[in-house]
Amino acid sequence: MDIQDPNFWRAGAIGTTVTMLVVLVFLTIDSMGSIRAGGRQVPNYDVINQHIGYEHNWNRGQAVPVIGEQELLFGKLYTLEEATRVMETGKLVIQTRNCMNCHTFFGNGAYFGPDLTKSWLDPAWTRIFMPMTGATTKEEAMVRFLMNPEKYPTWTRKMPNLDLTRSDAEALVAYLKWMSSIDTNGFPAKFGMAEPQ
Amino acid sequence: MTPAEVIMTAIGLALFVLAGGCYGGLYAAAMLRSSRRLMGTAFASYAVQLGLTVLVWMYSNLAMSWKLLILASVLGYAFVPVVTWRYMHILHRTGEQTT
Amino acid sequence: MYRSQKLALRYLTAALLLFGVMTAAGLLSALYYVEPSTLYNVLDFSVAKTLHIDTLVIWLLMGFIGSVYWFLPQELEHEVEGIWLAEILFFVFFAAVLAVAGIFIFVQYGTTSESSLWLINQGRKYVEAPRWAAIGIVLVVLVFVYNVTMTAIRARRMTGILWVLALDLIPLTALYLNAFSAPTNMSEDQYWWWWLVHMWVEGTWEVLIGCIMAWALMDIFGTSRKIVEAWLYIEVMLVLGTGILGLGHHYFWIGTPDYWLTIGGVFSAMEPLPLLGMVVHAVYDAGTHKMKTTNRPAMFWLLAEAFGNFIGAGMFGFMMTLPQINLYSHGTQWTVSHGHFAFWGAYACGVIAIFYIALQKVREAEVLESRAWKWSMAMLNIGMIGMVGGLLIAGITQAFYERAQGGSTLQAFVVAAENIWFRNAMVFRLAFGIVFALGYLALVYDMLTIGKKSTVPAGAELKPA
């Protein structure tokens, strides 16, 4: 072993890299079991038919999503197949409208708009947007806002109009409802649990 | 952690790394110039880093596992500059002889 | 001069231009925070931000590619094979960049259909470029890989640096293929997207710039090959040894198992240590050569790279990486602060050093010296430090009021963003952004004039410091 010989370090570099990659591959295989729709931490898409809450779990010491009783979205019961198709549209809306360059999902993206991880659970929809849009349900208020954001400004940073059709907006709302059901290890902390300021 | 604890701990950790960086940079500069004064400042920086380790250990609400990790890394900070310097020195001495 | 080096100059010039576009788009993005109604419904924040980060990726990539085309024939003493193809693709690449920028600015977004992803915008951060352009990027990189490997084969010579480079280009290209993917499941999307983003920025790019820096050290200090190769291998070992599983710090909150909290935390805590080694290395190299170099701008930019990388990636990274803190700091301006400083330290400073190395040869200057480089270096670095300082204060304000106290709702978000600390910090950031932009202009001026005899100021210190 001669530490002055570059070959010694070459072997070290190759060995370390290969070891780390092998570990990463195993962890990835295991992680896929958690993050596929219907996996350990990510519910299947038809979870949008149920009530979703977010509560502090004392055993885990963090907030976790709680899937409750049936709670229809837009008054409709989605089959898994229908829900999957809606999610495909919802995700396509998110990508084609470049949402991630103003907002964050799981805290990743841009920071000009609020994080959307648990947006479905945001009390602002019922407290502010339902009265403002005259809608009788939260999902309807979200759709009206998304289709005409400039009509319902709440702050100096306003969302632009991104030409969403009604079905685009509904798919997006469904997507946000599904996302809020994902177990994100407690992120964001205390969402919607703090006292209104 | 309370909001204030989060911020104070983060600032503590930033200063921790910064102190480690000062130690490394000053250590190298001291060796280069064979300056005892510079070496004194280098060790003072490391003492600051140790002090910050103690502060974080005592006053932050980080989990014990993270505190142990910080303790382990403060040892790493002690050795990296010394080992790197010696290695560079050996390498340059022999490397420049052969080329 | 080899044909490949002429191509390199084109790439480096394009990189310098796009650096300017990035700076302008960044200034505009900063302005929205101070004056939110700016260009509302005309050119919204997302467009400026997309331009800012995409030109960042492209100018650095062009800088890397240009650097390799510069050093490769020098390394092998052989003209680059298939250089004509690379020359054609440079124009294709540049035209495609302009076309994509035009589409982002004037078309912005399409309807909800696959075709929008193919033609307009893919809406995934850093890889927004529509798929037709992404195909172009793959082509450029493939030709680049072909150039590097074929030249080595024809020259019947393979150095250690070239081995590292050639092996590094395989994952670099393969990872980019994720840019074509659009999974429905956001957790899966981000899982693989981080493979691309993290493994580029904290893996393959680090190795690539390591190779370029190895050549640069041989060039400006005349360091021996044995030394730089041993150092390169150590660097690869440490960077990939900590960086590959350092990926874990992006897997805290995306629906992945909680063991990532431990893995990400541990490996991220180790990440500053190799950077500390690089600081010692930089001081050693600069010192043992008693700062005797004929290219002081390049040397000081290389030093800035070592220190900037340690502070930007090491210090700013570690302060927010432990999960207990990251829970609150993640996804705030704090991240932006770290991102700016880390990209600047790890990559931008290095590429600027290469600009100067190439310029010395182009201008045939025995000693490359001017006044402007000092001004530009000072303004760029002061501007950057001011910006990241402002962003850090804004981020801490957000972590405190929005995340830890307010619970991250819309209302909490607004409360933090209306806080006087946040608002002032964003004005501060914009002001220092302007300083940075002035530094950029000084850099361009210097690039145009340095080394031309008439511009070397009389009495300028031509002797080594």
pLDDT tens sequence across C18-34:
999 999 999 999 999 99
Residue C223 scores a pLDDT above 80: yes
State the CB neighbour count (10 A cutoff) for residue A33. Answer: 11
pLDDT (average), residues C107-129: 96
CA atoms of A4 and C394, how far apart (whole Å)? 47
Nearest CA distance, C283 vs chain B (angstrom): 6
pLDDT value of residue A1: 63
CA atoms of C212 and C185, how far apart (whole Å)? 38
pLDDT (average), residues C281-292: 80
List of E strands, chain A: 50-57, 62-70, 104-105, 108-109
> Which of C100, C115, C99 is CA-nearest to residue C50?
C100
pLDDT value of residue B58: 93
> Which of C323, C229, C308 is CA-nearest to residue C269?
C323
CA atoms of A172 and A143, how far apart (whole Å)? 8
Residue A7 scores a pLDDT above 60: yes
Average pLDDT taken over every residue of chain B = 92
> Would you say C180 and C114 are in contact if contact means Cβ atoms under 8 Å apart?
no
Of C227, C314, C325, the CB nearest to B21: C314
pLDDT value of residue A191: 92
For residue C291, name the pLDDT band (cuts at 50, 70, 90).
low
C128 CB contacts (<8 Å, ≥6 apart)? A98, A101, C50, C54, C104, C121, C122
Nearest CA distance, C351 vs chain B (angstrom): 23
Helical segments of B3-63, H only: 3-33, 36-59
Specify burial of residue A32 (Cβ count, 10 A radius: 0-12, 13-18, 19+): middle
C177 CB contacts (<8 Å, ≥6 apart)? C138
pLDDT value of residue B95: 63
Alpha carbon C132 to chain centroid distance? 24
CA atoms of A90 and A180, how far apart (whole Å)? 14
Three-state SS for C126?
Answer: coil
CA atoms of C408 and A111, how far apart (whole Å)? 12
Tokens 């035009």 belong to C102
Nearest CA distance, B28 vs chain C (angstrom): 6
The backbone region for C142, taken as left when phi is positive above 0, alpha when psi lies in -120 to 50, beta otherwise, is alpha
Residues of chain B in contact with residue C325, where contact means CB-CB under 8 angstroms, are 1, 6, 9-10, 13
pLDDT digits over A165-190, tens only?
999 999 999 999 999 999 999 999 98
For residue B55, name the pLDDT band (cuts at 50, 70, 90).
very high
Residue B36 vs residues B28, B40, B42, B49: alpha-carbon distances, Å: 12, 6, 10, 20
pLDDT value of residue C463: 46
Of A21, A163, A192, the CB nearest to C407: A192
Residue A195 scores a pLDDT above 80: no
pLDDT value of residue B97: 58
For residue C1, name the pLDDT band (cuts at 50, 70, 90).
confident
- Chain length of chain C: 465
CA atoms of A29 and B34, how far apart (whole Å)? 53
> Which of C331, C312, B37, C340 is CA-nearest to residue A119?
C331
Greater confidence, C189 or C159? C189
Nearest CA distance, B86 vs chain C (angstrom): 10
Three-state SS for C168?
Answer: helix
Three-state SS for A99?
Answer: helix
Residue A85 scores a pLDDT above 90: yes
Is B95 in CB contact (< 8 Å) with chain C?
yes
CA atoms of C4 and C69, how far apart (whole Å)? 5
Specify burial of residue C135 (Cβ count, 10 A radius: 0-12, 13-18, 19+): middle
pLDDT value of residue C464: 44
pLDDT digits over C130-167, tens only?
999 999 999 999 999 999 999 999 988 889 999 999 99
Whole-prediction pTM value?
0.95
DSSP character at residue C408: S
Nearest-Å Rg of the Cα atoms of chain B is 17
pLDDT digits over C382-409, tens only?
999 999 999 999 999 999 999 999 999 9
User: What residue type is assigned to position B86 of the chain?
Assistant: R
C318 CB contacts (<8 Å, ≥6 apart)? B13, B14, B16, B17, C268, C269, C271, C272
Asked if C400's CB is within 8 angstroms of B6's CB, the reply is yes
Three-state SS for A57?
Answer: strand
Is C341 in CB contact (< 8 Å) with chain B?
no
pLDDT (average), residues A28-55: 97
pLDDT (average), residues C361-383: 95
**The two three-digit tokens of residue C35, written as one number:** 């004056």
pLDDT digits over A90-105, tens only?
999 999 999 999 999 9
Is B6 in CB contact (< 8 Å) with chain A?
no
Strand-pairing partners, residue A105, are A108
Give the residue from C121, C332, C338, C408 with the most A CB atoms within 10 Å of its CB, the best one to mutate: C408
CA atoms of C183 and A84, how far apart (whole Å)? 12
CA atoms of C283 and C277, how far apart (whole Å)? 10
CA atoms of C163 and A29, how far apart (whole Å)? 30
Other chains touching C, judged by 3 or more CB pairs under 8 Å: A, B
**Predicted complex ipTM:** 0.97
Residues of chain B in contact with residue C268, where contact means CB-CB under 8 angstroms, are none
pLDDT (average), residues A65-84: 97
Question: Kind of pairing, strands A50-57 and A108-109?
Answer: unpaired
- Total CB pairs under 8 A between chain B and C: 132
Is B94 in CB contact (< 8 Å) with chain A?
yes
pLDDT value of residue C157: 85
| Lowest-pLDDT choice from A116-130, C91-105, C129-143, C221-235 | C221-235
> Would you say C318 and C272 are in contact if contact means Cβ atoms under 8 Å apart?
yes
> Would you say C30 and C433 are in contact if contact means Cβ atoms under 8 Å apart?
yes
CA atoms of C262 and C57, how far apart (whole Å)? 30
pLDDT (average), residues C49-63: 97
Residue C455 scores a pLDDT above 50: no
